[in-house]
Amino acid sequence: MELDRRRPGQSDIVTPRKEEDRVEILSGIFEGRTTGTPIAMLVRNSDQRPGAYDEMRDKFRPSHADYTYQAKFGIRDHRGGGRSSARETVGRVAAGAIAKKILALGGGASGAIPGGVEIRAFLTQVHDIIVPAGALSEFPSLADVEATAVRCPHRATSERMIERIRAVRSEGDSVGGVIECRVRGVPVGLGEPVFDRLEADLAKAMLSLPATKGFEIGSGFAGALMRGSEHNDVFVPGKDGQVHTATNRSGGTQGGISNGEEIVFRVAFKPTATILRPQTTVDSEGAATELIGRGRHDPCVVPRAVPIVEAMTAIVLLDHWMRQAAQNRTFSF
């Protein structure tokens, strides 16, 4: 179940906070099938300990949303668990699970493979521990991703990542990382030419996640270091009768529209803002003060963000699939 992949308390390297994340389906399902009407799902915040957050009532936690919420709304719920908490993402995972199911059905669209759309996210970096270039040339299996607590399918690297997270945790500190996401089975033609390019909506979806600082698709920032003659993906006739590209520096889209190749993008996550060390800050009166993080937080949220990245990817793809079905006489589910 997708929600369990996001849930805290999965291993010793993530937050011990227990969120059961039990989903109650309120509507839209009848006798085991969707009815076409909206599916409402409810996940209640359990295991809240409001007392643990008392100090945050008057002090702004650095690199959290405390100050901006206060300034924007003139009021803020200082207890954890609100919309500025990553707990917000449980709804995304629940919705994404449904989107994934629909995408897995494939459909009659040109280029859609029989197995449907498959989305695989995984860690390629924790702090300065990075999967070696070229080590993951194949589409990683879900089993390989889920084999370790960090969700990095490159076993040797995953062990070093886990060590690093443990070391950082023992110092009351935190680290960030990078998630790569690949998608195969996407038909040619998803995405709009101008504002709603497929990569634009993927970028928005990823930057809408807590703690993200960057997005790149295909060659990404490294692409700026190449020449056009090196970077261009030349077209070749495919064995499947489709047009393909010899390389995939485009990352699966050209002109904002999927080209049938693997969609490949990466998302950068900053280190968790909550650390168990004293930090200077300002209180709600504007006076300098100090804050000591307590609570139960992740030294590294990135492994738990893997299903969230997949969920948002599924949602973006399904939205564009629906748009294309609306526009195009020959495109259907």
Residues 130-149 that bind its own copies (CB under 8 A): none
Please tell me whether residue 279 binds its own copies under the rule CB under 8 A: yes
Nearest distance, CB of residue 222 and its own copies, angstroms? 8
**In this structure, are residues 272 and 211 in contact, taking their beta carbons and an 8 Å threshold?**
yes
Please tell me whether residue 322 binds its own copies under the rule CB under 8 A: yes
**Who contacts 211 (Cβ-Cβ below 8 Å, separation ≥6)?**
86, 176, 269, 270, 272, 273, 301, 305
Work out which of 25, 156, 226, 292 binds its own copies, going by CB under 8 A.
226
If the CB atoms of residues 9 and 62 are measured against its own copies, the closer one turns out to be 62
Radius of gyration of the chain (CA): 21
The footprint of its own copies on residues 74-133 (CB under 8 A) is 74-77, 82-84, 88, 107, 110-111, 125, 127-128
Please tell me whether residue 33 binds its own copies under the rule CB under 8 A: yes
Please tell me whether residue 46 binds its own copies under the rule CB under 8 A: no
The footprint of its own copies on residues 170-199 (CB under 8 A) is 173-178, 188-189, 191, 193-197, 199
Nearest distance, CB of residue 294 and its own copies, angstroms? 15
Please tell me whether residue 250 binds its own copies under the rule CB under 8 A: yes
Nearest distance, CB of residue 15 and its own copies, angstroms? 14
Please tell me whether residue 223 binds its own copies under the rule CB under 8 A: yes
The DSSP string of 53-115 is GGGGGTBPPTTSSHHHHHHHHS----STTSTTSGGGGHHHHHHHHHHHHHHHT--SSTT--TT
Is the Cα dihedral 208, 211, 213, 218 positive or negative? Answer: negative
Work out which of 58, 106, 113, 281 binds its own copies, going by CB under 8 A.
281
Nearest distance, CB of residue 9 and its own copies, angstroms? 20
Please tell me whether residue 228 binds its own copies under the rule CB under 8 A: yes
The residue type of 226 is M
Please tell me whether residue 245 binds its own copies under the rule CB under 8 A: yes
If the CB atoms of residues 54 and 142 are measured against its own copies, the closer one turns out to be 54
**Who contacts 180 (Cβ-Cβ below 8 Å, separation ≥6)?**
121, 122, 123, 124, 136, 264, 265, 266, 267
**Who contacts 187 (Cβ-Cβ below 8 Å, separation ≥6)?**
107, 109, 110, 111, 112, 258, 260, 321, 331
The residue type of 233 is D
Work out which of 216, 306, 310, 314 binds its own copies, going by CB under 8 A.
216
The three-point CA angle 229-234-235 to 5° equals 165
